[in-house]
Homo-oligomer: A and B are copies of this chain.
Amino acid sequence: MKKKKVLLFLAQGFEAYEASVFTDVMGWSRSFGNAPVDLITTGLRPELKCTWNLIVKPELEFEKINVHEYDALAIAGGFEKAGFYEDAYNEKLLKLIRQFDKEGKIIAAICVSALPVGKSGVLAGRKATTYDLLDGIRRKQLAHFGAKIQDESIVIDKNIITSTGPSTGLDVAFILLEMLTDKENVDIVKKYMRFTLDD
């Protein structure tokens, strides 16, 4: 079976935690899993500032993305004040999201990265969720894009995973790994990352 590959989109102001769950869970799968999953990072700028502290250079120029190489698109959330929506709402990303959805490829979004997925139009009439605090402003915005908001931590509607907050990050990454491979692989990765300590 061909090795699966994830494209991780990093917007300006992304939260490092919500990106690292994808890079590191897939990374540990390549070091110790029985079904290694590749991942590459991309973004709309040669250098990105996280919401906090980290300055990161994405690996792949956005213009060089070949959708056919990837089995899933992962998107990290971020803070508005750090510039998240400047990149997350860019038509280039919205078009990419539509391409992935059209081909039935997995789209995994943590926290407010559900919003570009919604804005792209692919969530119209479909179940999804996003950050719920701060007067539910993010959920209202997602509903405005036509999504049927679920009051749950993680919502899976066919190929699209959305979630409520940073707290869901690891679970979303492990769900993505399982959808791309299998549960045994996830169990091995969890063991080596020491989430399971039974042996």
Contact = CB atoms under 8 A, between A and B. Distances in A.
A186 interface: no
A20 B27 contact: no
B197 A166 contact: no
Contacts of A131: 194
A114 interface: no
Interface in A55-101: 55-57, 59, 79
Contacts of A52: 23-24, 26-27, 30, 39
Interface string A165-186: 1111000000000000000000
Contacts of A50: 23
A37 to B, nearest CB: 11
Contacts of A109: none
Contacts of A164: 194, 197
B24 A166 contact: yes
A16 interface: yes
Contacts of A27: 15, 51-53
A28 B56 CA distance: 19
A192 B194 CA distance: 26
Contact of A19 (B31, B54, B57): B54
9 contacts: A16-B20, A20-B54, A23-B53, A28-B166, A40-B53, A41-B54, A56-B57, A153-B197, A165-B192
